Amino acid sequence: LQKSLNETFGADKYSEARKEVLTNMFSRPMQMALYFCTGILEDETLFRHYALNVPFYTHFTSPIRRYADIIVHRLLSASLGASSPIKMEKEAIQKQADHCNDRKMASKRVQELSADLFFAIFVRVRA
């Protein structure tokens, strides 16, 4: 797909913008990753990472970026015995995960709407 996009859009001053917008539009149908508490889910196949083809997976980045990453760091640290267990029930962790998922989806939707607006303006100006 990327090779096809590169060949299609040439090298004019708008080619990178067109390619970025369309790449974003093409990736929308992909399922978005969700945060969840493993203690809530009974089916361990839901822990699988499809693209990496691994049975158990957790994702986190620097804990200064997102609250979900702070929770993952704390849980991982506790599970490795590097810190004391956190005092949260699994239902409370799932509630936090649900909130993070809601905010992440809202942010993604705003990003998509912004790309749609840019694309509509671009098409109108170029027509």
Buried b (16+ CB within 10 A) or exposed e, 23-59: ebeeeeeeeeeebbbeeeeeeeeeeeeeeeeeeeeee
Distance between CA atoms of residues 27 and 2, nearest Å: 11
**pTM metric for this prediction:** 0.63
Query: Which residue in this structure is represented by tokens 């859009």?
Result: 9
Instruction: Give residue-wise pLDDT tens across range 52-103.
Output: 788 877 777 776 767 888 888 888 899 899 999 888 899 999 999 899 889 9
Average pLDDT over residues 24-42: 74
Same domain for 40 and 26: no
Same domain for 91 and 58: yes
Distance between CA atoms of residues 86 and 71, nearest Å: 9
Higher pLDDT, 4 or 121: 121
Domain count, the chain: 2
Same domain for 41 and 90: yes
